[in-house]
Amino acid sequence: MIRLSALQFRAQAATAAVALAVFAVILAVSGPHLLGLYDSSGVAACQAHGDCLPLASSFVNKLGGFYTVFYFIGIGFLLLVPAAIGTFWAAPLLAREFEAGTFQLAWTQSVTRTRWLAAKLGVGALAAVATAGLFSLLLTWWSGPIDTAAPFAKRNSITFLRLGYVLFPTRGIAPLGYAAFAFALGVTAGVLIRRTVPAMAATLATFLFIQIAWAIWVRPHLILPARTFVALTAANIPNAELAVGPGGSTIIVPNLPSMTGDWILSTQNIDPAGHPFNVATVKACQGNISQACSNTLSSLHLRAVIAYQPASRFWALQWYETGIFLAAALLLAGFCLWSIRSRHLNG
């Protein structure tokens, strides 16, 4: 049965192999030069001295159009791979059998339908995870220098945080979990809907929704966020920025080079009694941080409370997330097995 699943999967496997090969060649040819630029930029050593901003900026600015463009192409590609696996590989896998009636041919060979489905799921999921894994491995390696330097050069951009919405799902092992989950989701849609095109549409919509909802609502809390209190003083207020805080209040956000790479989830200003403080109530601070504003604020002994995920938690968060998506994939696969064994037997 495994041989048959592999045979029926060869067109998809060929597509994936070609895409992987093209991707690998581009990265393998350009990667060493990128690494050379990085090594000579001094970014690797600067973190010990805290003078990364000029070095990192110079490295990022020296990157040609190709590297910048391909950096984002790679991100887009890795975001698409799991969705494409679910939509184009998994959703038609069983839906097409029901639509064309071939399940009647498959289920009347001398193989139980449990084994039939186990082989189909096993071969497909393995291919899905391997494909996503290889893409991620290649891209994580190639993008490493830019990922390391960019947060120093573009300090306030979440786009370049390893923990941010864009990089996190396209690096490390997370794509493996997504691929397995998207595959199981697509197969489940096929079992439930039994028609190819609607199953594909449902898979794509559901997967994209889950990925976005997950990034916004779940990932920040996978591990209890760390909190730090920063005293707002005459030393750091002039470099700070005004921002919109909780409840439409105005807050002052200090600029903290030591937190480069950390994923800041929320910032709040509190007075010495611990009550939230609205900077908008200080007349001198309306519009911008003037000298008068700075003087007034520093006399109030305010503190900034920052909730964040430290950059050091990258791998812990990756493992948690991958584990959860793999577990969800297993649950969906279990549902498909149960459904094929009982529900379809009954109707």
Partner 1 sequence: MSVVIQTSGLGKRYRRTWALRDCTLAIPEGRVVGLVGPNGAGKTTLLRLAAGLLAPTCGTISVLGQRPAAGPAQLARVGFVAQDTPVYARMSVADHLRLGAWLNPAWDDELARRRIAQLGLDPKQRAGSLSGGQRAQLALTLALAKRPELLILDEPVASLDPLARREFLRGLMESVAEHGVSVVLSSHLVADLERVCDYLVVLVASRVRVAGEVSALLASHCRLSGPRRDPGALPAGVEIVEESHTDKQSLLLVRTDQPIHDPSWTITPVSMEDLVIGYMSRARDDRTHRLQAVS
Residues within the interface to partner 1 (CB under 8 A): 1, 3-4, 7-8, 11, 100-102, 104-105, 107-113, 342, 345-347
Q: What is the C-alpha to C-alpha distance for residues 157 and 170, in angstroms, rounded to an integer?
A: 17
User: Measured from the CB of residue 108, what is the shortest distance to partner 1 in angstroms?
Assistant: 4
User: Measured from the CB of residue 94, what is the shortest distance to partner 1 in angstroms?
Assistant: 13
Q: What is the C-alpha to C-alpha distance for residues 314 and 306, in angstroms, rounded to an integer?
A: 18
Q: What is the C-alpha to C-alpha distance for residues 20 and 12, in angstroms, rounded to an integer?
A: 12
Query: In whole angstroms, what separates CA 308 from the centre of its chain?
Result: 17
Nearest to 124 by CA among 170, 88, 160: 88
**CB crowding 151-187: b at 16 or more within 10 Å, else e:** bbbebeeeebbbbbebbbbbbbbbbbbbbbbbbbbbb
In the beta sheet, which residues pair with residue 270? 276, 303
User: Measured from the CB of residue 101, what is the shortest distance to partner 1 in angstroms?
Assistant: 4
**φ/ψ of residue 261, rounded to 5:** 95, -20
User: Measured from the CB of residue 176, what is the shortest distance to partner 1 in angstroms?
Assistant: 28
- Cβ of 217: how many Cβ atoms within 10 Å? 9
User: Measured from the CB of residue 106, what is the shortest distance to partner 1 in angstroms?
Assistant: 8
The pair of structure tokens assigned to 249 is 């209040």
User: Measured from the CB of residue 7, what is the shortest distance to partner 1 in angstroms?
Assistant: 6
**φ/ψ of residue 260, rounded to 5:** -60, 130
Nearest to 125 by CA among 176, 77, 169: 176
Nearest to 121 by CA among 333, 343, 338: 333
Task: Give the DSSP letter of residue 225.
Answer: P
Give whichever of 10 and 62 is closer to partner 1, judged by the CB atom.
Answer: 10
User: Measured from the CB of residue 8, what is the shortest distance to partner 1 in angstroms?
Assistant: 7
Please, what is the angle between helix 65-84 and helix 196-213, to 10°? 120
In the beta sheet, which residues pair with residue 228? 306
Q: Are the C-beta atoms of 268 and 251 separated by less than 8 Å?
A: yes
Give whichever of 104 and 312 is closer to partner 1, judged by the CB atom.
Answer: 104
User: Measured from the CB of residue 115, what is the shortest distance to partner 1 in angstroms?
Assistant: 8
